[in-house]
Amino acid sequence: MDRIILRDLAFFAYHGVYQEEASLGQRFYFDLDCYTDLRPAGISDDENDTVRYDHIAKRVENIVLNKRFNLIEALAEAVAKDLLTNMDKLQKVRVRVRKPAAPIAAIVKDIAVEIKRTRKDYIK
């Protein structure tokens, strides 16, 4: 299946278990693979035949900036659910949420979770 890929989509937000995360905030990075059939758009060259990546980014931004999550697992799940239930042409998504400033006593590039969901996970 074809996919639309967004890498390093970044937002400054206030998610996390600890009070400092809620008050100080930090950057969150998203890597998204959005699976859909791109053939109709490839043939027609019409934006109405595809899933617009600016619409994907806007939906993610709305969740990240307007809801609060303790866990990046819950944040990833909310993004996957929103995309698959509101964008009819999407069949499957892979959502990776990276948190480079996670408050742990270790030196790491980032902490991340990755989930894969299909439309069937939310729409019966």
And the tokens for 98?
């990276």
Positive or negative, the Cα torsion across 20, 21, 22, 27? positive
Number of domains into which the chain is organized: 1
- Residues with active-site annotation: 99
Return the pLDDT at 107: 86
CB 59 within 8 A of CB 52: no
The arithmetic mean of pLDDT across residues 96-123, rounded, is: 92
* Average pLDDT score over the chain: 95
The arithmetic mean of pLDDT across residues 20-42, rounded, is: 96
Q: What is the pTM of this model?
A: 0.95
CB 50 within 8 A of CB 41: yes
Output the domain CATH number for residue 37.
Answer: 3.30.1130.10
> Which tens digit of pLDDT belongs to each residue from 59-108?
999 999 999 999 999 999 999 999 999 999 999 999 999 999 888 888 88
Return the pLDDT at 108: 87
Range of the structural domain that residue 85 is part of: 2-121
36 contacts: CB under 8 Å, gap ≥ 6? 1, 2, 3, 4, 50, 51, 89, 90, 91
Return the pLDDT at 105: 83
Q: What percent of the chain has pLDDT over 90?
A: 85
